[in-house]
Each structure stands twice: as structure tokens, then as C-alpha cells.
Amino acid sequence: MSQPTEAAPVCYRHTDRETWIRCQRCERPICPDCMNSAAVGFQCPSCVKEGAKQTRTGVAPYGGTRSTNPALTSFVLIAMNVAVWVMIQAREHLVDVLSLTPAGRCEAIGGRTFYPGIVSESVCNAQGGASWVAGVANGAPWQIVTSIFAHQQPVHLLLNMMVLYFLGPQLEAILGRSRFLSLYLLSGLTGSVAVMLLSDPHGGTLGASGAGFGLMGALLVVAHKVGADTQQILVWLGINVAFTFFASSYISWQGHLGGLVGGLLISALIVYAPKANRSLVQWSGLGTIAIVSVALIVVRAAALT
């Protein structure tokens, strides 16, 4: 005995017309006469009208103020990264001051030789020709933030800035300036948390890669939210993840993983927050992520002291 077939959906505005097309924004069925091309897929007349209203009032799709120049924040961040790179080129010792080193290390003066058996500043300074590089756990908490903006190799800087250049303006246009900046900085912070928890306590980590992976994760979440094809994003992200682990001898997979997980969580919180009290939910959630991240860093630093 055959099973009854499911009835085809009908357009919500023209109930006599069957259709399998849905609005990318509200997900209601729409017929060809109600389909309006959008940046991704099609939208119904009601959503187009609501979008135009938001544009006129300057409201971003997920709350907050719409950026009049969505590229501005990314350009400022790029300029900051380049400025720090120039400083490091001019004063090479700054790479140790700005990089994230969880527990400090003992290095030979004038070289990059690392003494893994010496984990005390007093013992290191007592050695001839050695100096102590401070870490987060023993007096350099600023490294949690400065490491996100520090690069030593020009190729490393170029690759990270390309990610920011291409993804930053798109995400700021969608999320708004304050939420985009929060995404970038908090993704960098969660990358630093992963480095503190999972990496060699005496190794140094630097670069904006954690924040960059956070932007990749955010792009995936936004594309999924609007019903766009995520296959190309997943392939691109998969290539970067695979390269990270294959080249883990000189790439911080910990920072990349922490930034990606942070970016996924942060962007999901922003775009899936309910419209009722949206801003309250978003900022409370972002604040919680920041507090938990700092708490984990403090606990880990205390354990390494």
C-alpha cells in the first residue's frame, strides 16, 4: 500500500501557488512573483521592506548601528599590526616582550638558544651569558593582548592581514562595528587561552592567526544562518586547519584552534540571539566569554608560577 505524498508548500502571499522556494530571511514559502534577489538567495516582499527600513534607520541585521564605512575597523587593525611589526624590526628584543610565553624561559644572550632545564629567573640570571624572558605567569600579563598584534616574519604578517582585509569588511557590514571588533578581539583572546592551556609553557607564540580563524568561523556561522551554500567556506577552512596541523612544528595549532572555537561561539551568540532583548543577550554573552577566558588564564598562570 503506497504512502500518501506530502503536499507541496504554498506561497504565503498567494495560497493557490505551490512552491518549494523559501525566503532566506524568514523561511516562509514564496512563489516566483514574490522572490526578490538578495545578497544571498531570495527574500520575500515583507523581509525586503523590513530590510529597507533597517537600512534607513541605520540598524545592522543583528542589532547595533550599521557601519557607514565597513572597512574602517579592518584598516585600523591592519595599521596597528603593521606598526607593531615595524617596531619589532627596529628593536628585535621586542619580539620576546610582546609574544605570549605562558611561564617564561631562559635564553642565551645574543642568541636564540633555549635552556629548558632552567625554569627559574634567579637561576637563569645566575648563569653566565643567559637572560630570563618573562612570561604571563611571572610578570608579563600584557602578552595576552600584545601577542595578537605581534608578527616577526613578513609572510606571517601578510597572510594574517589578507584574511582580515577580505573578511573584516564583510563581517562588519553584517554585524556592525562594535560587534565585529568584539568578535576579532575575543577570538584573539580565546586563542591566547588555548595557548596558555595547551602549548609548551616556555615557548613563545605571536600573530593574529587566532583572530583570523575566528573570522573564518564567524563567516561560516553567518552563511549557515542565512541559508547560503557553505561548501566553499568549509573547504577553505578545512585546508587551513589541515595546514595548521601538518605544519604544527612552527605553527601554533593551539592558537588557531582556540580562535576558531571562539569565533564560532561568539558569532553564534550574536546572530542567533532572540530579537527580544537582543542587545542584552549579546553583550551579556560576550562579557561572559571574556570573563571566563580571563579566569582560565589567571588559573593557568597561578598553576605555572
* β-bridge mates for residue 54, sequence order: none
Q: What letter represents residue 62's amino acid?
A: Y
Sequence-distant (6+) residues with CB within 8 A of 210 are 148, 187, 188, 190, 191, 192, 194, 195, 252, 255, 256, 258, 259, 262
Q: How far apart are CA 180 and CA 185, in angstroms?
A: 9
C-alpha 128: how far from its chain's center?
43
Contacts 24+ apart (CB under 8 A), 299-303: 300/102, 300/137, 300/196, 300/197, 301/102, 301/136, 301/137, 301/141, 301/196, 302/137
The reply to whether 279 belongs to the active site is: no
Sequence-distant (6+) residues with CB within 8 A of 205 are 99, 100, 101, 147, 195, 199, 252, 254, 255
Sequence-distant (6+) residues with CB within 8 A of 295 are none
Q: Which of 209, 252, 267, 293 is catalytic?
A: 209
The reply to whether 256 belongs to the active site is: yes
Contacts 24+ apart (CB under 8 A), 72-76: 72/177, 73/168, 73/172, 73/177, 73/180, 73/181, 73/184, 74/164, 74/165, 74/168, 74/169, 74/172
Q: Which of 147, 256, 267, 293 is catalytic?
A: 256
Q: How far apart are CA 150 and CA 160, in angstroms?
A: 11
Q: Which residues are catalytic?
A: 209, 256
